[in-house]
Copies of this chain bind each other. A is one copy, B any other.
Amino acid sequence: MKKRLHLIIADAELETVPESIRDHPAIVNYARRRKKRPERIILDSTYHHAALRNLEDGERRGRPDIVHVCLLNALDSILNKEDRLRVYVHTRNDYVIYVDPETRLPRNYNRFIGLMESLFEKGAVPEDLKLLRLERKTLGELIEEINADAVFVMHENGNFMEPKHFGKLLTQFWKPVVVVGGFPHGDFRSKIEGVKVRLYKEPLMAWTIVNEVIVSYEWEIL
């Protein structure tokens, strides 16, 4: 068995437009422009800002861009090319996206959004290859399914550890899970059991943590 890092982008702010704001003008106009039905659209704070004000947690929702940049960095990493990485996205509404390591994600953001809309509609894309697969699942269920021998949660109130020491620590396990919050600020919504770690004195962007963890682990394992 090969040692492999399992990376979860958790509580990601990736969702289709919730029912309660589907008739908001910001949504209706955007849907019309994109020639899609409002319920098929991915919520995006850049365009749906006015509608988000009417939603709980509106100030942090609608951030598919965070998922996009994290996945680009993870999938194009040396660690992934060496088949030492598995990536998952867990979303606000308890969907889990299983990402095949061979996936070549669209580099263009708008194409990525189109892909996510297909995924939420069809449950898998492309429909034959199923490089991305969507399932209803909580973060806890996903972690249990992975059957990890250690779970680390990247958290601004965690114990400080230098990235290089954290990378070394991860190599002591066969199947470590690292959970990174896929939201712009605030705390995890899901309850997670795991060792809380922070890599810097200030909060970091999700993609910065992904890069630090992946490169530090590579150093030790490859």
Q: Which residues of A contact B (CB under 8 A)?
A: 44, 46, 63, 65-66, 69, 72-73, 76-78, 81, 107-111, 163-164, 199-200, 202, 204-205, 207-208, 211-212, 214-216, 218-219
State the CA gap A77–B216 with chains docked (Å): 14
- The main secondary structure of chain A at its interface with chain B is helix
- Tell me how many chains of this kind the complex includes: 2
Q: Which residues of B contact A44 (CB under 8 A)?
A: 108
Q: Which residues of B contact A205 (CB under 8 A)?
A: 72, 76
* Partner pick for A78 among B78, B110, B200, CB 8 A cutoff: B200
Contacts A46-B111, A108-B65; is A77 near B218 (CB within 8 Å)? no
A65–chain B nearest beta-carbon distance, Å: 5
Say yes or no: A78 contacts B108, CB within 8 Å. no
Q: List 28 A-B contacts (CB under 8 A).
A: A44-B108, A46-B108, A46-B110, A63-B107, A65-B108, A65-B109, A69-B72, A69-B73, A72-B205, A72-B207, A73-B73, A73-B207, A76-B204, A76-B207, A76-B208, A77-B208, A78-B199, A78-B204, A78-B212, A108-B109, A109-B110, A163-B215, A163-B218, A211-B211, A211-B215, A212-B215, A215-B215, A216-B219
